[in-house]
Structure 1
Amino acid sequence: MFAMPTRPAVDHTQPGPAAPEDDGRTVRPGDCVDGGCYVDVGGHPIWHFDSGDGSPVVLLHGAFAGASSFGAQIPELLKSGWRVLAPERAGHAHSPDDARPFHYSRMADDTITYLDTVLGAPSRLVGWSDGAVVALLVARRRPDLVDRMVLVGQYFNSDGKVADGITDSLLVGSETMRFLSAEYDAVSPDGPDHFPEIHRKTMEMITSEPEIDLTTLAEVETPTLVIQGDRDEVTVAHTLDVVDALGDARAAVLPGTHLLPLESPDVFNPLMLSFLAGDPPAEWDL
Structure 2
Amino acid sequence: MATTTNDSLTFKNGYSEVNGLKMYFEIYGQGKPLVLIHGGGSTIQSNFEKVIPLFAKNRKVIAVELQAHGRTNDRNADLTFEQDADDVATLLKNLKIDKADFFGFSNGGTTTLQIAIRHPELVDKIILGSALAKRNGVPEWFWGFMSQAKLENMPEQLKEGYKKVAADTNGLQVMHDRDAKRMVNFKDIPDEQIKSIKAPTLIIIGDKDVITPEHAIELHRQIKNSDLAIIPGGHGQYIGEITTITPDTKESEFVVPMIEKFLNKSKE
TM-score, with length taken from structure 1: 0.80
Q: In the alignment, which residue of structure 2 is the partner of 1:187?
A: 165
Find the residue that maps to 1:65 and give its secondary structure. coil
Measured in 2, the distance between the counterparts of 1:247 and 1:193 equals 44
- Paired position in structure 2 for 1:266: 252
The equivalent position to 2:33 in structure 1, one of 56, 62, 83, is: 56
Q: What one-letter code is carried by the residue in structure 2 that aligns with 1:277?
A: N
Q: 1:200-215 maps to which residues of 2 (within 5 A)?
A: 200-215=177-192
Give 3-state SS (helix, strand or coil) of 1:192's partner. Answer: coil
The aligned residue for residue 151 of structure 2 is 172
CA distance in 2, matches of 1:136, 1:273: 19
**Number of equivalent positions:** 250
* TM-superposed deviation, 1:163: 4.0
Give the C-alpha shift of residue 185 in structure 1: 2.2
SS of equivalent residue, structure 2 residue 54: helix
Note the aligned Cα RMSD (angstroms).
2.2
Structure 2 residue 265 is the aligned partner of structure 1 residue 278? yes
CA contact (8 A) 1:108 1:137 kept: yes
Letter in 1 for 2:165: V
Return 211-220 or 232-241, whichever deviates more: 211-220
Q: 1:230 to 1:141 in 2, by over 3 A?
A: same
- Structure 2, unmatched stretches of 5+, are 1-5
Deviation at 1:178, TM superposition (A): 4.1
Structure 1 residues not aligned, in runs of 5+: 1-7, 14-34
The answer as to 2:173 corresponding to 1:196 is: yes
Are the aligned partners of 1:11 and 1:36 in contact in 2 as well (CA < 8 Å)? no
Once the two structures are TM-superposed, the CA of residue 279 in structure 1 deviates from its matched residue by 4.4
Tell me which residue corresponds to 2:3: none
Aligned to 1:83: 60
Please list, as runs of the form range in 1=range in 2, the aligned pairs for 1:65-214 lying within 5 A after superposition: 65-68=42-45, 69-79=47-57, 81-165=58-142, 168=145, 170-174=149-153, 176-189=154-167, 191-214=168-191
Letter in 2 for 1:266: S
CA offset at residue 165 of structure 1? 4.8
Contact 2:205 / 2:235 at 8 angstroms: preserved in 1? yes
The 3 A distance-change label for structure 1 pair 9 and 271 is: farther
Q: Cα deviations across residues 129-170 of structure 1 (Å, max 9, x unaligned)?
A: 011111111111111101001000122111111244598385
Alignment of 1:1-12 (within 5 A): 11-12=9-10
Name the CA shift for 1:162/1:9 in 2 (closer, same or farther; >3 Å): farther
Inter-partner Cα distance in structure 2 for 1:227 and 1:167: 25
Instruction: Compare 155-164 and 259-268 and name the one that shifted more.
Output: 259-268
Bigger Rg, structure 1 or 2: 1
Aligned mates of 1:165, 1:271 — CA distance in 2: 29
Residue of structure 2 in register with 1:246 after alignment: 223
| Percent identity of paired positions between Structure 1 and Structure 2 | 23
1:90/1:216 CA distance change after superposition, 3 Å: closer
Cα gap change, 1:256/1:9 in structure 2, threshold over 3 Å: closer, same or farther?
Answer: farther
Kept in 1, the 8 Å contact 2:104–2:129? The answer is: yes
Structure-2 change in CA distance of 1:210 and 1:278 (3 Å) = farther
* Greater Cα shift, 120-129 or 176-185: 176-185
* 3-state DSSP of counterpart to 1:253: strand
> How far does the alpha carbon of each residue in 1:253-276 deviate from its partner, in whole angstroms, 9 at most, with x for none?
010110221157524111111111
Contact between 2:81 and 2:111, CA under 8 Å: does it hold in 1?
A: yes
* Letter aligned with residue 162 of structure 2: Y
